[in-house]
Amino acid sequence: MSVASNQLVEQETPLISGDQTFASVTEKISSIAEAKTPKMWYVAIGISASIMFFFLFLIGYLVWEGIGIWGLNIPVGWGWAIVNFVFWVGIGHAGTLISAILFLFRQKWRTSINRFAEAMTLFAVICALIFPGIHVGRIWMAYYMFPLPNQMSMWPNFRSPLLWDVFAVGTYFTVSLLFWYTGLIPDLASMRDRAKTKIRRYVLGFFSLGWRGGNRQWQHYELAYLLLAGLSTPLVLSVHSVVSTDFATSVIPGWHTTIFPPYFVAGAIFSGFAMVNTLAIIARKIYGLEDFITIKHLEKMNIIMLVTGSMVGYAYSCEFFIAWYSGNEYETFTFLNRAFGPYAWAYWTMVSCNVIVPQLFWFKKVRTSVPIMFVMALLVNVGMWFERFVIVVSSLSRDFLPANWDYYSPTWVDVGMFIGSFGLFFTLFLIFLRFVPMIAMAEVKAVLPQADPHFYHGNGHLDTAANTVAVKEGGKA
């Protein structure tokens, strides 16, 4: 290694603090899933599951009565359901970005957060998928969306972005699930080996697919993981690009915009990191994982939020510029209407939360203060929900012919379903926290200083911190 890089390494604080060993990592993480269920967990899942069941009840009500129980009208044919869909899909993006893109870029700090970021992705995508599923008028005919061979040779319309959505989000979910599960296998095997009851052993044994940690298995595993990472990477960019085409390919001013794909992806990553941050802050506090998810991890995520938040802010201003520069009166009107029309309150909520708030991350103090960043992450989530609301609703409510203009307001069912989707999300997430190692043990171990092949040689290639650990580890051994 060159001197320069050496110096760089030297400046870096270790990714995992608290003098962890391989054993302590396994112990710490596995024990969370193995210990007796904490009372608080029951309380938490009690609340979130009730909300989830309320959600299921509302879905039943919707199917029974019809879409009319929502606040939709003509011209606003899409409301909270689609807003929620885009919101949840966006949230999912951080997980895939962390696990796949940061993996390919060898960002080792990702190992502490990738597992539950990926879990978050899956659950967010599940929440997301529910909304386009139930928002159709005749849910019992929704299978027409799939290219099922039939005697009438009727196919779905391959020109429709909604169909692209079906494929894009479907693929995304499948790949994300595989990726997450592949990453889980070594950890499940560790837990299997620690299992004390027969059922645990069998269940974990089944899901760990006979993992023994052999050299060849690791070889195959690494390759598979790399391939899946490679496969997921374009999906990070494509899914939200495709979702954005729902709007971008239409003729409606405010939707018909070429900037949408990159803008949506940036927004998705932005909101995703805000969500990861929110969840990570809670989880590390409750489960005492400050050593694994250090302030450094959080700070890095905050920096990503700063970057993507600025991109989103740029997109907002760019839209305005183009609306004026194009000279298209409908386009100009739509954007002025967003800022000053009946939905101005939503627009300015969005701008405040998404553009102004993240700018505070320029300050190191803000970036590294857990309470402040927690509040900010929540605000970003609020802002990103409003961004989708502004795009979907304000554009539709006032389009070409003023005679059609109408105001849309949600009903209690709209609101209930949105809250209900959080119930579903948190229920799934709590189950995940309870039964699955929430941090990728195997991967964390790989970034421990001990994992370095030169660790035990102590030949001066290592930085001082690692050396101290090495002495300790050596002493123990």
Partner 1 sequence: MNKPSNVLNKEYWRSLNQLADNEEYRKYLENEFPEGASELNSPMKRRNFLGLMGASIALAGLAACRRPVEKIIPYVAQPEEVIPGIPNYYASTIPFGLESFGVIVESHEGHPTKIEGNKKHPSTMGASNILQQASILDLYDPDRSQNVLNGGKISTWSAFEGFWKGMHKEFSANRGKGLAVLSRSFHSPSMARAQHDFMKTFPQARWVNYEAVSDVNIYAGLKIATGRPVQPVYRLDKAKVVFALDADFLYSETDNIRNARGFADGRRLKSEKDDMNRLYVAEGIFTVTGGMADHRLRVNTSQIINLAVALVHELKSLGARSVVADQTKPVQLPEKQAVFINALAKDLIANRGKSLVLAGRRQPAEVHALVYAINNTLKNTGNAVEYYTLEDAGIPDPDEFDLLINDLMTGTVSTLAILGGNPLYDAPADAGFDLAIQIAQHTIHLGSHVDETASKCEWHLPMAHFLESWGDARALDGTLSVVQPLIEPLFGGRSALEIVQLLADGTPTRGYEIVQRNWKKVLRGNFEHSWKKLLHEGVLENSASKPVGTKMKPAEIAKALNGRSPAEVPSAHSLEINFVASPALFDGRFANNGWLQELPDSVSKLSWDNAVLMSLQTAQALGVKNEDVVLLEFEGRELAAPVWIQPGQADFSILLVLGYGRNAAGRIGSGVGFNAYRLRTVKHPDFATGLKITPTSEVYEMANTQDHNSMEGRPIVREASLEEYRKEPNFAPEMVEHPPLVSLWEEHSYEEGYQWGMVIDLNACTGCNACTIACQSENNIPIVGKEQVRNGREMHWLRMDRYFIGDIDEPEMVYQPVGCQQCENAPCEQVCPVQATVHDSEGLNVMAYNRCIGTRYCSNNCPYKVRRFNFFNYTKDLPEIVHMAQNPDVTVRSRGVMEKCTYCTQRINEGKYAAKAEGREVKDGEIVSACEQACPTNAITFGNINDPNSAVVQMKKQNRNYELLAELNVQPRTSYLAKLRNPNPELEKSS
**Residue 470 interacting with partner 1 (CB under 8 A):** no
Q: For partner 1, which residue of 142, 259, 286, 307 counts as binding (CB under 8 A)?
A: 142
In the complex, minimum distance from the CB of residue 422 to partner 1, in angstroms, rounded to a whole number: 25
**Residue 150 interacting with partner 1 (CB under 8 A):** no
Q: Which is nearer to partner 1, 136 or 307 (CB)?
A: 136
Q: What is d(CA 294, CA 297) in angstroms, rounded to the nearest whole number? A: 5
In the complex, minimum distance from the CB of residue 261 to partner 1, in angstroms, rounded to a whole number: 17
In the complex, minimum distance from the CB of residue 341 to partner 1, in angstroms, rounded to a whole number: 11
Identify which range of 34-42, 116-124, 366-374, 395-403 contacts partner 1 by CB under 8 A: 395-403
**Residue 275 interacting with partner 1 (CB under 8 A):** no
Q: What is d(CA 84, CA 385) in angstroms, rounded to the nearest whole number? A: 7
**Residue 234 interacting with partner 1 (CB under 8 A):** no
CA dihedral over 199, 200, 205, 206, signed as positive or negative: positive
Give yes or no for a contact between 358 and 301, defined as CB atoms under 8 angstroms apart: no
**Residue 162 interacting with partner 1 (CB under 8 A):** yes
**Residue 85 interacting with partner 1 (CB under 8 A):** no
Identify which range of 233-241, 358-366, 399-407, 421-429 contacts partner 1 by CB under 8 A: 399-407
Give yes or no for a contact between 78 and 396, defined as CB atoms under 8 angstroms apart: yes
**Residue 288 interacting with partner 1 (CB under 8 A):** no
Q: What is d(CA 245, CA 74) in angstroms, rounded to the nearest whole number? A: 21
Q: Which is nearer to partner 1, 140 or 345 (CB)?
A: 140
Give residues with Cβ within 8 angstroms of 203, minimum separation 6.
none
**Residue 393 interacting with partner 1 (CB under 8 A):** no
Q: Which is nearer to partner 1, 96 or 334 (CB)?
A: 334
Q: What is d(CA 472, CA 292) in angstroms, rounded to the nearest whole number? A: 19
Give yes or no for a contact between 302 and 367, defined as CB atoms under 8 angstroms apart: yes
Give yes or no for a contact between 104 and 230, defined as CB atoms under 8 angstroms apart: yes
**Residue 74 interacting with partner 1 (CB under 8 A):** yes
State the alpha helices, DSSP H only, in 208-294: 215-248, 260-286
**Residue 60 interacting with partner 1 (CB under 8 A):** no
* Distance from chain centroid for Cα 101: 13
**Residue 71 interacting with partner 1 (CB under 8 A):** yes
Q: What is d(CA 17, CA 447) in angstroms, rounded to the nearest whole number? A: 11
Give yes or no for a contact between 298 and 280, defined as CB atoms under 8 angstroms apart: yes
In the complex, minimum distance from the CB of residue 132 to partner 1, in angstroms, rounded to a whole number: 8
**Residue 147 interacting with partner 1 (CB under 8 A):** no
Q: Which is nearer to partner 1, 81 or 442 (CB)?
A: 81
Give yes or no for a contact between 413 and 70, defined as CB atoms under 8 angstroms apart: yes
Would you state the structure tokens that stand for residue 167, as one six-digit string? Answer: 């494929």
**Residue 405 interacting with partner 1 (CB under 8 A):** yes
Torsion-angle region of 138 (φ positive above 0: left; ψ -120 to 50: alpha; else: beta): beta
Interaction site with partner 1 (CB under 8 A) = 65-68, 71-78, 135-139, 141-142, 144-145, 154-157, 159-163, 166, 246, 249-252, 329-330, 333, 396, 398-407
